[in-house]
Structure formats: structure tokens, C-alpha cells
């Protein structure tokens, strides 16, 4: 067989292996992703449960990178202590070795059966069944790729030039670590890289010491991704978890690399089969590293706080103030804190609407810019609230607590959507108008200002309904939706009358005016849905279908 063709086939087999890993990960995340995130969040109370959760979640997802990104997000939002977050990463490092252990045995014969099962599930099942079908297909593809790698490498294992090259590689374990770390970082999968090393070691293409050094590099590479792709922003504290995980792994790699010769002889003495020895080394390295680092986590956390101090900004409006993880054991207290945090969303929307009203009155660009800057604040607070609510143990909540969770989620979601309409639509419309030197007519400007004032009043009513569950106030807020629709219709009619009378400057001004009317009505609809609908629905006062039922005949 021609060598260039073999290289292409080898690259194709590696690509198939990576794609199989990707299918397994995406299938599991689509099927269990939200539940796994919830399990992980609830476990972040102490380092023991956090370690087990990290191990279990990563074993299912087969991606320590995905687990690391989730935990980094929790820690960056201030929703978890540093020590349990680091414990999760130790567990994740062990969890990612389990599938390597399974695939280190000769199970390639079942690959076609797995693919067949997966295809049948994917073609005929519901959404969850289809996603599980992806998992079976991915496992089958991984086994096929590993078998093909072995078959492709066999004819070349005795080629003198290849032996010479691999002999040079074997004498430079540091180079092996760097090479594997780079490949793992690019592939986003230590599992795929370790399986590839196992295949090469099984045929003797890679010497044992080089294989173990490559495994060490894979462990470094998979810790790099959360550092680069985790929490963004200028707060160094958000990087503590991924940096801590990288430092722990790097320290372990340095120690083992210094004794790679004796370690290799010990591993081969325990199991002469080189592919099994590679898998055992991968698992043993992470188990020993976790055992050594686990009691040192408080000291490591103190070091990380010193190296990466938090950027103190008490005025940061996106920083949660009332999400207390210590209260998670008492759902009623935790929900009260989440409700207080959700009210801050209404305060942010209030500030955005106030800035919009000021810009309508005097074309104040600075007020529009301030309103636009508040939109990311809403997104961060909304994400923090939802993440916090998923960490509350559902088994510890009564039915009333579950209803309150739904009410808080509805309020937070609709407030965030209302802010999006203000920050991304209304602000942009008026910024465009000011930039082009356009002006609404005096009557049109007065109508829009009056509508914003009414929105502000409805916003404050929505906040009151959310906190009090008052049915009368909820009914008044729902009635405001009809009233607001009438106001919008009257303002539109009046605008067209002015347009016909030539009292509107340009067609572009007319379009901006009508778009503003429409978006103000959308904001009001979100305010009603945020607070009034949950209260009235809980008391059976909302019809399931608002269409009038007309008897036939």
C-alpha cells in the first residue's frame, strides 16, 4: 500500500475517532445536560460530594472540558466556593478515565451492533431516544476507528525509518508532553488522544515511556481549554478554578515525568499488555493526583486567591447580592433570596426605561448609551438566578416551593426579555434617529413619552404583584394590557392622520415612530406575563384558550 494513501487513511481514522467522541458527548448533553448541570450545582456544597459529582457527571458526559466550563461558570458568577469547585475538577479528571478503561479491552467486535442499535433509535424514536441513538452510534464509530488504526499501523511497525523516528521521540519525554498537550487542546478531547496513544502502543509503534509521556501531555492539554474558553471579563478571580486545575495537573506531570523510567517499568510489570498499561497509567495518575491534592485544596485555594485577587467593584450592578449558597439547605430562605435578586431585574429595566424617556425628550445620547450598557447586566443577573435555582434540591421543596420557583423563573425571564427589547430595539431605534438628525413631531413625542411613563407605572405594579401575589393588582395589570393595546392603536391612528396632513417630516421618521410604538407594546406584554399571569393562573382565572368558543350549527 502506498505510504501517502496510508497517511490519508490514518488521518481519516483519527477524524472518525474524534467524531465518535463528539457524538457521544453531544448525545449525552442533549439527553441529560440540564439534569447533569442541576446535579452538579446541588453537589457544590462541600468538597466530598463535589468530587463524586464531578466524577459521575464527567463519566457520563465523557468530557472533563465540559464539566470544567460549567464549574468555571458557577464560580465566576460567585455561586460556589472555590474549594468545592476545585474538588469537582479532581473528580472530573478521574471520571474521564473510565471510558478509556472500558475501551482498553477488546470490544471492537460489538461496534457494528452499537451502530445498528443507534441508527434504529435515531430513525424511529422521539427526541430523547434519538439523542441516545447518537450515543450508541458514537461509541460504535470510536471502536471502528480504533480497530482501523491498529490495522493501518501494523504493516509499518517494523519500518527502519519509523523506528528511528520513534526512538528519537522516546528519548525526549518533555517533547512528548508538549506535543500531546497541543493535540489535546486542539481536539478538545483527552479521551480521543489517550485512545490513539493506546492504539499506537498496542502495536509497539510508540515505546512505553513515550506513550506514558503522551498521556501526561493529554492530561495537561485538556486542562488548558477551560482556562481559555471559560469565564470572560477582567476579573482575575473568574479564572481561579481552571487555573487551579491546570496548576494541580502540571505539578503532577512534573513529578511523574521526573520518574518516568521507573514508573514505566512498574506499570509494565503490573500488566505487560501495553494498551492496558497505558489505560491503567492514565487512571492511576489521576487517582493518585486526586488523593494527594484533595487534602491540600484549602491551601491551594488560598494560593489562588493570592495569585488571582478578586477585582473589588461593589458598585457592579451585575454582581448578585442575595444568592446565598449557605441557604440552599433551607428552600424557603433560598427562594426568598432569589426573589429579592429577581426584583433587581425590575430595577434595571426601570433605569433603562427612564433613560429612554429622557432621550425621547431631549435627544440625550449619553442616556441611551447608559441604557444600552445595562442590557448585559440583565443577562448576567438572569443567568445567576437561574443557576442558583437549579442548585436547590427539588426533593427538599414542597409543592408551594416548586410553584414559587416557576414564578421566579417566569418573572426573571420576562424581565430579561423586556430589557432586551429596550436595550436592543428601542435604544437602537432612537440612537439611529438622533444620529441622522431626525425628530418626532411634538404630538408624537408626547404620545411616546406618555407610553413610557405608563410602562414605568406598570413595571412597578408588576414588581408589587410578584412580591405580594395580590389578585386584585394582578387583574389591574392584565387590564393594562388591553388598555395599552388601545393606546397603541390610537397613537398609530393619530400618527397616520399627521402623516396625511404633512405634519411628519419624513417617511423614515414615520417608520421609527411606528416601530417604537410596537416595541413599547411588546415591553408591556412582558411585564404582564412576568407577574400577573402566574398569579391568576394559580387561581384558575386564566382561560386555556382566549379564542371565543362559537357553537356550530
Q: How confident is the model at residue 44 (pLDDT cuts 50, 70, 90)?
A: low
Top mean pLDDT of 26-35, 183-192, 235-244, 525-534 is at: 525-534
Residue 445 pLDDT more than 90?
no
SS3 of residue 412 by DSSP: helix
pLDDT in tens, 472-512: 888 888 888 888 788 878 877 877 777 776 655 556 677 77
Q: Tell me: pLDDT of 242 over 90.
A: no
Geometric angle at alpha carbon 457, from 385 and 426, rounded to 5°: 70
Give the pLDDT confidence score for residue 305 in this predicted structure.
86
Residue 339 contacts by C-beta under 8 Å, 6 or more apart in sequence?
404, 408, 466, 467
CA 222 to chain centre: 17
Region 336-363 average pLDDT: 86
Q: What is the pLDDT of residues 103-116, one digit of tens each?
A: 777 666 777 888 88
pTM of the full structure: 0.55
Q: Residue 153: what pLDDT?
A: 56
pLDDT of 160 over the 60 cut: no
* pLDDT of res. 294: 92
**CATH no. for 326-538:** 1.20.58.220
**CA dihedral of residues 263, 265, 270, 271 (deg, nearest 10):** 110
Q: Which of the pair, 527 or 58, is modelled with greater confidence?
A: 527
What value does the mean pLDDT of the chain take?
79
Binned at pLDDT 50, 70 and 90, residue 46 comes out as confident
Would you place residue 42 in the very low, low, confident or very high pLDDT band (cuts 50, 70, 90)?
low
Per DSSP, the three-state class of 266 is: helix
Q: Outline which parts of the chain fall under CATH 1.20.58.220.
A: 326-538
* Mean pLDDT of the region 395-410: 83
DSSP state of 236: G
Q: Are 130 and 18 in contact (CB under 8 A)?
A: no
**What confidence category does residue 231 fall into, taking pLDDT thresholds of 50, 70 and 90?**
low
The pLDDT tens digits of the residues spanning 287-332 come to 999 999 999 999 999 998 888 886 655 566 777 878 876 566 677 7
DSSP 549: P
pLDDT of 551 above 60: no
- Within 188-328, residue ranges assigned H as helices are 190-202, 208-229, 240-258, 260-270, 274-293, 297-307
pLDDT, tens only, 376-400: 888 888 888 988 888 777 767 777 8
Q: Regarding predicted confidence, which is higher, 433 or 314?
A: 433
Top mean-pLDDT range of 31-35, 365-369, 425-429: 425-429
Amino acid at each position: 500500500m502506498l505510504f501517502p494513501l496510508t497517511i490519508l487513511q490514518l488521518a481519516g481514522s483519527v477524524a472518525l475517532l474524534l467524531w465518535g467522541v463528539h457524538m457521544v458527548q453531544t448525545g449525552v448533553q442533549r439527553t441529560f445536560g440540564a439534569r447533569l448541570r442541576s446535579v452538579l450545582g446541588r453537589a457544590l456544597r462541600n468538597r466530598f460530594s463535589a468530587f463524586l459529582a464531578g466524577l459521575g457527571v464527567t463519566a457520563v458526559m465523557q468530557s472533563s472540558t465540559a464539566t470544567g466550563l460549567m464549574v468555571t461558570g458557577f464560580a465566576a458568577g460567585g455561586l460556589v466556593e472555590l474549594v468545592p469547585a476545585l474538588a469537582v475538577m479532581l473528580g472530573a479528571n478521574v471520571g474521564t478515565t473510565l471510558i478509556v478503561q472500558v475501551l482498553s479491552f477488546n470490544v471492537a467486535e460489538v461496534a457494528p451492533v452499537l451502530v445498528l442499535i443507534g441508527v434504529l433509535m435515531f430513525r424511529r424514536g422521539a427526541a430523547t431516544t434519538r439523542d441516545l441513538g447518537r450515543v450508541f452510534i458514537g461509541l460504535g464509530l470510536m471502536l471502528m476507528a480504533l480497530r482501523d488504526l491498529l490495522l493501518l499501523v501494523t504493516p509499518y511497525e517494523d519500518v527502519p525509518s519509523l523506528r528511528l523516528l520513534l526512538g528519537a521521540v522516546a528519548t525526549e519525554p518533555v517533547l512528548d508532553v508538549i506535543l500531546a498537550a497541543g493535540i489535546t487542546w486542539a481536539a478538545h478531547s483527552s479521551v480521543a488522544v489517550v485512545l490513539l496513544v493506546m492504539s499506537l502502543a498496542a502495536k509497539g509503534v510508540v515505546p512505553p515511556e513515550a506513550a506514558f509521556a503522551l498521556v501526561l501531555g493529554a492530561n495537561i492539554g485538556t486542562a488548558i481549554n477551560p482556562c481559555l474558553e471559560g469565564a470572560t471579563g477582567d476579573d482575575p478571580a473568574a479564572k481561579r478554578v481552571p487555573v487551579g486545575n491546570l496548576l494541580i495537573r502540571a505539578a503532577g506531570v512534573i513529578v511523574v515525568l521526573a520518574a518516568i523510567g521507573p514508573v514505566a517499568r512498574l506499570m509494565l510489570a503490573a500488566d505487560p499488555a501495553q494498551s492496558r498499561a497505558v489505560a491503567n497509567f492514565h487512571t492511576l495518575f489521576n487517582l493518585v493526583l486526586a488523593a494527594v491534592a484533595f487534602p491540600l485544596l484549602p491551601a491551594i485555594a488560598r494560593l489562588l486567591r493570592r495569585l488571582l485577587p478578586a477585582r473589588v467593584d461593589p458598585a457592579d450592578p451585575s454582581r448578585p447580592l442575595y444568592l446565598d449558597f449557605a441557604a440552599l439547605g433551607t428552600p424557603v430562605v433560598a427562594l426568598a433570596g432569589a426573589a429579592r435578586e429577581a426584583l433587581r431585574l425590575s430595577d434595571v429595566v426601570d433605569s433603562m426605561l427612564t433613560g429612554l424617556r429622557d432621550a425621547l425628550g431631549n435627544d440625550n445620547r449619553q442616556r441611551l448609551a447608559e441604557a444600552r450598557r445595562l442590557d448585559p447586566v440583565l443577562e448576567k443577573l438572569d443567568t445567576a438566578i437561574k443557576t442558583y435555582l437549579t442548585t436547590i434540591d427539588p426533593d427538599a421543596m414542597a409543592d408551594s416551593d416548586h410553584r414559587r420557583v416557576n414564578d421566579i423563573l417566569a418573572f426573571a425571564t420576562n424581565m430579561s426579555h423586556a430589557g432586551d427589547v429596550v436595550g436592543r430595539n428601542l435604544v437602537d431605534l432612537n440612537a439611529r434617529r438622533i444620529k441622522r438628525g431626525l425628530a418626532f413631531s411634538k404630538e408624537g413625542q408626547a404620545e411616546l413619552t406618555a407610553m413610557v411613563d405608563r410602562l414605568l407605572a406598570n413595571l412597578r405594579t408588576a414588581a408589587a404583584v410578584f412580591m405580594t401575589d395580590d389578585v386584585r393588582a394582578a387583574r389591574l395589570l392584565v387590564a393594562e394590557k388591553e388598555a395599552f393595546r388601545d393606546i397603541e392603536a390610537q397613537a398609530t391612528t393619530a400618527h397616520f392622520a399627521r402623516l396625511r396632513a404633512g405634519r411628519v417630516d419624513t417617511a423614515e421618521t414615520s417608520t421609527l415612530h411606528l416601530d417604537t410604538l410596537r416595541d413599547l407594546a411588546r415591553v408591556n406584554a412582558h411585564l404582564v406575563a412576568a407577574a400577573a399571569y402566574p398569579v391568576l393562573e394559580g387561581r384558575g382565572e386564566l382561560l386555556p384558550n382566549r379564542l371565543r368558543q362559537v357553537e356550530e350549527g
